[in-house]
Amino acid sequence: MVAAVRTEFDFAAYLSAARQSVELALDESLGIEQPNSLSEAMRYSLLAGGKRLRPILCLAACQLAGGTITAAMPTAVAIEMIHTMSLIHDDLPAMDNDDLRRGRPTNHKVYGEATAILAGDALLTRAFELVALRSPEVPAECLLKVIGELSLASGAQGLVGGQIVDLESEGKEVDLNTLEYIHLHKTGALLSASVIAGGLIGGANDELLKALSTYARGIGLAFQIIDDILDVTASSDILGKTAGKDLIADKTTYPKLLGLEASRERADQLVTQAKQGLAPWEDRATPLLALADYITGRDR
């Protein structure tokens, strides 16, 4: 009977339901912001759709560890807020100077640079408020660890550090080590933190936290390799952001360093390794295993 349930796991339905619950929670998370212009700018980017991969990873890791969706949701929302902040700031003229994001004008194109910078700041602070004050079910010691994970993943030792090295590497020859440094920090750190935070809230023991960490590192790098591949192979229309941008900016990417075929093989290999670590948890790991496949199979 267990085997039957396992083969019947409907990932599309799972993903759709998880996304819907995340969208609802995101919408509710920004009710009382003032003033209006700031609130609008925050909502514009936070509710602009997207895969919601990080919050869903957080919820799935929490469930694998034995926790509930409800307990992890404020943290899942906080993580998407941090991710959104990083997108708003990365898109600014002083950084990547991007006009399109998720098929719509970027935040600063609509609200101006000042409001875009401040909306990012407000989302970042709001994220910590959510974890600290809106997670009544979770023990305080656990929430402090979660806040620690999120702050480390977001700052100099995480995505901000990755973004700086990325900006400094534009137009330069970059080796594979530096490329992986950029990706492990810029994308990998927050993806990892999503999984670890979910595990912590679910009450994961050290063994599971270690397996989740290996899993997260693997899918984090694979995710970025696929992003690089899609930048070469997909159109702006499908991506919802400016395609070919890495080439134009003369950024080093996996396809450029390894070639398209070898890049895809590396992504597949990373995902296989990521999944192996979760094997001991069998059926309970099904959503996380399917999410890993989804990451390498996606076309945007």
Sites of contact with its own copies (CB under 8 A):
32-35, 37-39, 42, 85, 89, 92, 94-95, 112-115, 117-118, 120-122, 124-129, 131-133, 139-141, 143-145, 147-148, 150-152, 154-158, 160-161, 163-165, 167-168
Identity of the residue, 7 or 177, whose beta carbon is nearer to its own copies in the bound complex: 177
Task: Specify the residue, 21 or 29, whose C-beta has the smaller distance to its own copies.
Answer: 29
Work out how close the CB of 201 gets to its own copies at its nearest, in angstroms, rounded to a whole number.
14
Least spacing, CB of residue 78 vs its own copies, in Å:
10
Q: Which is nearer to its own copies, 39 or 214 (CB)?
A: 39
Nearer to its own copies, 69 or 167 (CB): 167
Cα dist from 130 to 70, 99, 135, 223, 240, whole Å: 13, 30, 7, 27, 29
Closest contact distance (angstroms) between CB of 276 and its own copies is 31
21, 162 Cβ separation under 8 angstroms: no
Round to whole Å and give the CA distance between 220 and 271. 9
Distance of CA 59 to the CA centre of its chain: 13
Minimum Å distance from CB 58 to its own copies? 17
Q: Which amino acid is at 182?
A: I
Q: Would you state the torsion angle of the CA atoms of residues 222, 297, 187, 300, taken in this order, to the nearest 10 degrees?
A: 140
105's enclosing H/E stretch is strand 104-105
Report the residue number, 58 or 123, with the smaller CB distance to its own copies. 123
Residue 14 has what DSSP assignment? H
